[in-house]
Amino acid sequence: MDKLSFYDQVYQVVRLIPKGRVSSYGAIASYLGTRGSSRMVGYAMNAAHSTFPPVPAQRVVNRNGLLTGKFHFGSADMMQQLLENEGVKVNNDKVVDFKNIFWDPAIELEL
């Protein structure tokens, strides 16, 4: 994975998040060995809309389950709609039952 750009590494991980689950910017940064660079993961998500294969950026939220990236989806409620289409409940811009549907790449993926 070291030959890929940081963004490409982020995209590879995000593409593995199953439908109906969410991860956080920090968990992805930590998995990639760049703990503390969660903001860079956010920048990667902002740039992900034109990548192929598609990156399900809606599945990445902040450490509290808030839809902090929602303004990068074209409309204020598109991120929520995409998540709800996958079975994720959202209330007041926050993922409901966040701890139970949280997908941690450090646990879910073998290093």
Which residue, 105, 27, 93, is CA-closest to 65?
Answer: 93
Is the confidence at residue 2, as pLDDT, over 80?
no
**6 compared with 2, residue with greater pLDDT:** 6
Helix (H) or strand (E) holding 91: strand 90-91
Tokens representing 28 are 């992805």
pLDDT in tens, 22-62: 999 999 999 999 998 999 999 999 999 889 999 999 999 99
Q: Is the peptide bond before 53 cis (omega within 30 degrees of 0)?
A: yes
pLDDT in tens, 51-71: 999 999 999 999 999 999 999
Instruction: Report the interhelical angle of 6-14 vs 38-46 (nearest 10°).
Output: 80
pTM: 0.93
pLDDT confidence band for 110 (50 / 70 / 90): confident
Assign domain 6-99 to a CATH class.
Answer: mainly alpha
Grouping H, G, I as helix, E, B as strand and the rest as coil, residue 24 is: strand
| Per-residue model confidence (pLDDT) at position 4 | 80
pLDDT in tens, 90-109: 999 999 999 999 999 999 99
- For the chain, give every domain's residue range: 6-99
